[in-house]
């Protein structure tokens, strides 16, 4: 039987099997939230045991982000060659090894290198998991699928903090890394058994048994079987071998640079908000406990932000929803510090900032696969996330330098508000591929 399976997936109702694959991708994103903050949760205990200086602790806190940037930039693109699922399995092995060995590290140098190794694995996972979540969703539910996937970050950050406190109080800081490593290792057989390979990868790259693997998915997703693989698209075949050259080709350079700029500015703002809000709330006059509470509310708001964005994108254009999110985040950040005169209003605004700031990141994850053809999609998403991680690394450094120059919390939040607005302007100028995953980014994500 001859038909376009990609179009059938895009226009057909979602099946339980497809939602199950997306749920696994969401579980993988929980690792991101846990891994980003596990060092922050254990930094005080590690510093006391090894008598570390503040600068060394800062390097330990940044090592994971450096690793994630490297994984997204240099490892994730190989998913376009070996497969998204294969890349996820490889990176899970790296991340679990890094976490488990961190639990027995003997000095700051060892821990820093292992944090970087863990970050490389997580960076490679994120690009592939977001691509798979996007490709296995229908047009109507693609925004929700990828947004739910991204919600895993906030869930991992929130649960990770609770788990870290309990484990450290009873078993010490090493138990937190051991727990994370065991959980990561436990996901490997789940991915191996239950996560299918990307259909777009199988159609474009045509590895061994591609037809059988495609038909196995088609049967479980309620689609007819293919008698033979469709004729390859010449453009897609050419793209596969020249990923970075394709991303920066005259036809795609503009969109690629806009994606990079949007990711950099959005993650710069997001990591500033999540990292500095507790401290800056204290600077603005709140107590230490109230500052921590504000930080927790940001993470809790983030859980709902990505889900809300996905639900809205099922009715409205994802691109327009994302631009609105970025504009609203900017407005909320401008009024946040002046609102700290009222604890209730400040906490309410903090939760809303969490909703919209986290939704901005989820929206970029959902939108970016539509910018690129299937043959270079993992490379495009990986580089977008990697450039965003550079923004995440730069954020605390820039904020610290400006604080040393006597910038006020209000001025810092206005700067970060501008970063979200600039990201929104970049998104507004994006153009989308018409092959592979259908962007439908300038129209509501509804079925054809």
54-58, 128-132, 328-332: segment of lowest average pLDDT: 54-58
171-to-110, 175, 432 alpha-carbon distances in Å: 21, 6, 51
Instruction: Provide the pLDDT for residue 238.
Output: 42
Q: What is the mean pLDDT of the chain?
A: 83
* Per-residue pLDDT at 8 exceeds 60: yes
Instruction: Provide the pLDDT for residue 278.
Output: 67
**How does residue 45 score in pLDDT terms, banded at 50, 70 and 90?**
confident
User: Among 11, 9, 13, 17, which residue's Cα sits nearest to residue 220?
Assistant: 17
Selected residue with higher pLDDT from 69 and 232: 69
Instruction: Provide the pLDDT for residue 234.
Output: 46
- Measured over the CA atoms of residue 300, residue 301, residue 305 and residue 308, the dihedral's sign is positive
What is the enclosing helix (H) or strand (E) of 42?
Answer: helix 16-50
Instruction: Provide the pLDDT for residue 443.
Output: 40
Task: Say if residue 404 is exposed, middle or buried (CB neighbours under 10 Å; 0-12, 13-18, 19+).
Answer: exposed
62-76, 280-294, 348-362, 433-447: segment of lowest average pLDDT: 433-447
User: Which range in 98-107, 144-153, 435-444 is most confidently predicted, on average pLDDT?
Assistant: 98-107
> What is the C-alpha to C-alpha distance for residues 122 and 41, in angstroms, rounded to an integer?
18
Domains of the chain, CATH where assigned: 5-216+238-428 (1.20.1250.20)
pTM (2 decimals)?
A: 0.77
Instruction: Provide the pLDDT for residue 220.
Output: 84
Instruction: Provide the pLDDT for residue 292.
Output: 61
Quick: pLDDT tens for 217-227. Answer: 888 888 888 87
What is the enclosing helix (H) or strand (E) of 349?
Answer: helix 343-367
User: 171: phi > 0 → left, psi -120 to 50 → alpha, else beta; which?
Assistant: alpha
* Per-residue pLDDT at 20 exceeds 80: yes
User: Rounded mean pLDDT of 164-178?
Assistant: 88
Selected residue with higher pLDDT from 47 and 181: 181
* Per-residue pLDDT at 2 exceeds 90: no
User: Rounded mean pLDDT of 309-334?
Assistant: 91
**How does residue 279 score in pLDDT terms, banded at 50, 70 and 90?**
low
**How does residue 254 score in pLDDT terms, banded at 50, 70 and 90?**
very high
> What is the C-alpha to C-alpha distance for residues 391 and 378, in angstroms, rounded to an integer?
20
Instruction: Provide the pLDDT for residue 24.
Output: 92
**How does residue 103 score in pLDDT terms, banded at 50, 70 and 90?**
very high
Instruction: Provide the pLDDT for residue 91.
Output: 95
Q: What does the angle CA 238 – CA 81 – CA 196 come to, to the nearest 5 degrees?
A: 120
115-129, 168-182, 196-210, 405-419: segment of lowest average pLDDT: 196-210
Which residues, other chains included, contact 302 with Cβ-Cβ below 8 Å and sequence gap of 6+? Answer: 151, 153, 154, 157, 354, 355, 357, 358, 359
* Per-residue pLDDT at 44 exceeds 80: no
User: Which range in 46-50, 63-67, 178-182, 433-437 is most confidently predicted, on average pLDDT?
Assistant: 178-182
Q: What is the DSSP string of 7-39?
A: HHHHHSPPPHHHHHHHHHHHHHHHHHHHHHHHH
Instruction: Provide the pLDDT for residue 96.
Output: 94
Quick: pLDDT tens for 365-408. Answer: 889 888 888 778 888 888 998 999 899 888 877 887 887 788 88
Number of Cβ atoms within 10 Å of the Cβ of 288: 11
Phi, psi (rounded to 5 degrees) for 444: -55, 145
> What is the C-alpha to C-alpha distance for residues 69 and 165, in angstroms, rounded to an integer?
28
**How does residue 429 score in pLDDT terms, banded at 50, 70 and 90?**
very high
Selected residue with higher pLDDT from 11 and 161: 11
> What is the C-alpha to C-alpha distance for residues 353 and 361, in angstroms, rounded to an integer?
13
């Amino acid at each position: 039987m001859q038909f376009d399976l990609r179009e059938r997936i895009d226009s057909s109702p979602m099946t339980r099997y497809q939602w199950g694959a997306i749920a696994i991708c969401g579980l993988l994103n929980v690792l991101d939230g846990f891994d980003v903050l596990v060092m922050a949760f254990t930094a005080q205990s590690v510093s006391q045991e090894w008598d570390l200086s503040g600068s060394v602790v800062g390097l330990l806190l940044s090592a994971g982000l450096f690793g994630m940037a490297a994984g997204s930039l240099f490892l994730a693109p190989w998913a376009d060659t070996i497969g998204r699922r294969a890349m996820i399995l490889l990176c899970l092995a790296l991340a679990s090894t890094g976490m488990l060995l961190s639990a027995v590290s003997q000095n700051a140098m060892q821990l820093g290198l292992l944090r970087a190794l863990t970050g490389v694995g997580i960076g490679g996972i994120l690009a592939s998991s977001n691509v798979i979540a996007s490709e296995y969703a229908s047009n109507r539910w693609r925004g929700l699928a990828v947004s739910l996937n991204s919600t895993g970050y906030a869930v991992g950050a929130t649960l990770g903090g609770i788990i870290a406190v309990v484990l450290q109080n009873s078993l010490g800081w090493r138990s937190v890394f051991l727990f994370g490593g065991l959980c990561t290792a436990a996901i490997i057989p789940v991915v191996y058994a239950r996560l299918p390979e990307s259909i777009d990868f199988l159609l474009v790259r045509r590895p061994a048994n591609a037809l059988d693997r495609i038909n196995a998915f088609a049967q479980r997703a309620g689609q007819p079987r293919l008698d033979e693989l469709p004729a390859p698209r010449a453009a897609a075949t050419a793209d596969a071998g020249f990923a970075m050259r394709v991303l920066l080709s005259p036809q795609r350079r503009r969109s690629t640079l806009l994606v990079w700029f949007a990711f950099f500015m959005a993650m710069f703002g997001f990591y500033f908000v999540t990292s500095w809000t507790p401290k800056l709330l204290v600077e603005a006059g709140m107590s230490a406990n109230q500052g921590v509470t504000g930080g927790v509310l940001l993470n809790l708001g983030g859980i709902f932000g990505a889900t809300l964005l996905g639900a809205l994108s099922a009715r409205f254009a994802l691109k327009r929803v994302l631009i609105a999110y970025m504009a609203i985040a900017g407005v909320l950040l401008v009024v946040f510090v002046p609102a700290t005169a009222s604890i209730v209003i400040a906490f309410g605004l903090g939760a809303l900032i969490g909703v919209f700031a986290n939704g901005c990141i989820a929206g970029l994850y959902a939108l970016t696969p539509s910018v690129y053809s299937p043959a270079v999609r993992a490379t495009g998403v990986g580089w977008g996330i990697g450039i965003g991680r550079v923004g995440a690394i730069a954020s605390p450094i820039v904020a610290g330098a400006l604080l040393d120059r006597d910038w006020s919390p209000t001025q810092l939040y206005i700067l970060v508000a501008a970063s979200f607005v600039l990201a929104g302007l970049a998104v507004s100028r994006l153009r989308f591929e018409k092959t592979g995953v259908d962007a439908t980014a300038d129209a509501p994500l509804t079925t054809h």
